[in-house]
Structure 1
Amino acid sequence: MKTWLLALLLFASPLGAKAPLLATPYQGGLDLKAYWVSEKLDGIRGRWDGKALLSKSGKPLAAPAWFTRALPPQPLDGELWLGRGHFQALSAIVLDTQPDDAAWQQVRYMLFDLPGHPGPFDDRLKAMEQLVAKQHLPWLAVIPQFKVASEEALFARLDQVIAQGGEGLMLHRGDALYQSGRSPSLIKLKKAQDMEGTVLAILPGKGKYQGMMGALLLELDNGVRFKLGSGFSDDERRSPPKVGARVTFAYQDLSLAGKPRFARFIRVRPDGA
């Protein structure tokens, strides 16, 4: 079966809606001319399957009817966003099971892909721009994509985004088809890498943290377990994340055993995100 036909069948199916394209960390040594670059938005992923708005994990998001009614019947992939530095406020709006119409008026749906399109990202980008122009909705846009000529220019742009309060950059290979799961065709570039883990246990603190949480025992998606004890405020130590919660942390690199080094807590991933 031809590759483009297989991609069309896969991502037009319910299975495709449950398996989004996921990014891999930047390692260097890329032919940057082959990639589109965009800002990595600090929002909540929103996947439109043609009928419902879903989170990254596939849970329905309770968006107002006016927000979704105007969306096209084809699958969309993007980020629900309020702007730089407003993740917590966005979470309160987007994950509320009783949507607040006035609050949702502030939310923008920033597209970065078309899961059902059979062509490479170069073609999908053009199709997204045409779709947004046709829909003409004030809350629907395409995340701006641009090219860089060198790694020096790429890191200069990263520094600029970070200085302006942004999170990082995404690199999307122009000739790559949309595919399920983690792929080298989509790359994230940040000053520090981040990862998620599941809380297995809350470990008691000692010394100045007596009576509070000392660290969290986390399990990574690959089964590796480690203790996360840095990056918490005193309030977070008094009311730590619950067992079973998913937390995001930053780290420098991995040890030979696959454990994150110099890890620091960032936030608890909201339920449903």
Structure 2
Amino acid sequence: MVLKTPLETRRAWLRGGICAALAAAFGGPARLLAAVGVVAPPLLLAEVLRGDVDVTRYWVSEKLDGVRAVWDGRVLRFRSGRVVNAPAWFVAGLPPEPLDGELWLGRGRFEDLSGIVRRREPRDDDWRKVRFMVFEQPGGEGSFTERIARLQAIVARAGVPWLAVVEQFRVADRPALQAKLDEVVAGGGEGLMLHLADAPYLTGRSDVLLKLKPLLDAEATVIAHLPGRGRLDGLTGALLVETDKGVRFQLGTGFTDAERRNPPPVGSLVTFVYRDLTQDGVPRFASYLRRREVF
């Protein structure tokens, strides 16, 4: 099925509240975007650092809390393939070579950044605070080490303050990696990325790129059981929970099917893990861990 509508109407659908309903009708956001002519560019996606990995073979960088963006030499796009509505001067300053990176405001400012980059009419004052932090050269030849050097040369030639290369460094061993992670997290950072030094350019999910980040845990009270849909029809789809600070949110991942059939009762305490908090105190990427038994 193909939607035959003017381009501006398609974009309005993607920006508007109707997007969620349309995505469900088309079988997910990716299929909806494809139906309106938006194709996601092939990118390298990270695996989680697990097991006995020789971290000395990797370049390490901070995992930026930004918005993934890809520059093909002419157009700046989100990971979904949608065009970023950046000011003309921002795009004009980018080089002719392809770049992959993150639009970034700084640590802990993801929500502010999201509002800026998704606005239909870009505001110059806001965008002057945004930097395009690049970490990969799509289609680049040679090893990642060689591509880092080329990225540095490309960015230097561009000579614009909103374009920079993400700092890459090496570590001597696992304790050194953990120490760096602790340092970054203590400073408000999200975690670390590890990219295999001798890896060629790849796309798709691969262990040549690994992510390392801490998970926090907390407790909340179950307020209600929310019904599941699709495969989870007839089971509990999520728990509506409330923290001791009065923050309510839905906890929908981390359950086994058995736990969805027999969920923690209303009024019970559950433990969940999460990455960090939004400005409103809502846990981000929260996942159910276990029911907390009160003795």
Task: Tell me how far apart the structure 1 counterparts of residues 227 and 92 of structure 2 sit (CA, whole Å).
Answer: 42
Identity over aligned pairs, percent: 44
TM-score by length of 2: 0.66
Structure 2 residue runs of 5 or longer lacking an equivalent are 1-38, 261-270, 275-282, 287-295
1:76 equivalent to 2:99? Answer: yes
Counterparts of 1:212-251 in structure 2, within 5 Å, are 217=228, 227=238, 229=240, 237=249
Task: Tell me how far apart the structure 2 counterparts of residues 166 and 41 of structure 1 sit (CA, whole Å).
Answer: 7
Deviations 1:126-150 (Å, cap 9, x if unpaired)? 0011111111110111110000000
Higher Rg: 2
Which secondary structure state, in structure 1, belongs to the residue aligned with residue 284 of structure 2?
strand
Structure 1 residue runs of 5 or longer lacking an equivalent are 1-15, 194-206, 242-246, 269-273
1:110 equivalent to 2:128? Answer: no
What is the alpha-carbon root mean square deviation over aligned residues?
3.4
Matched residues, number: 221
Deviations 1:25-52 (Å, cap 9, x if unpaired)? 0103112221000000000011111111
Corresponding residue for residue 174 of structure 2: 151
Counterparts of 1:1-273 in structure 2, within 5 Å, are 18-192=41-215, 209=223, 217=228, 227=238, 229=240, 237=249, 262-264=272-274, 265-266=283-284
How far has the Cα of 1:189 moved from its partner? 0.1
Task: Tell me how far apart the structure 2 counterparts of residues 47 and 129 of structure 1 sit (CA, whole Å).
Answer: 17
How far has the Cα of 1:87 moved from its partner? 0.6
**Higher RCO (C-alpha under 8 Å, 6+ residues apart):** 1
Amino acid in structure 2 at the alignment position of 1:130: A
Task: Tell me how far apart the structure 2 counterparts of residues 219 and 25 of structure 1 sit (CA, whole Å).
Answer: 28
Task: Tell me how far apart the structure 1 counterparts of residues 202 and 193 of structure 2 sit (CA, whole Å).
Answer: 16
Amino acid in structure 2 at the alignment position of 1:227: A
Which secondary structure state, in structure 2, belongs to the residue aligned with residue 186 of structure 1?
strand
Corresponding residue for residue 10 of structure 1: none
More strand by share: 1
Task: Tell me how far apart the structure 1 counterparts of residues 241 and 213 of structure 2 sit (CA, whole Å).
Answer: 19
Which secondary structure state, in structure 2, belongs to the residue aligned with residue 90 of structure 1?
helix
CA spacing shift, 1:89–1:118, aligned 2, 3 Å: same
Which secondary structure state, in structure 2, belongs to the residue aligned with residue 79 of structure 1?
strand
Deviation >6 Å, runs of 4+: 254-257
TM-score by length of 1: 0.71
Corresponding residue for residue 34 of structure 2: none
Which secondary structure state, in structure 2, belongs to the residue aligned with residue 266 of structure 1?
coil
**Contact 1:17/1:49 (CA < 8 Å) preserved in 2?**
no
How far has the Cα of 1:218 moved from its partner? 8.4
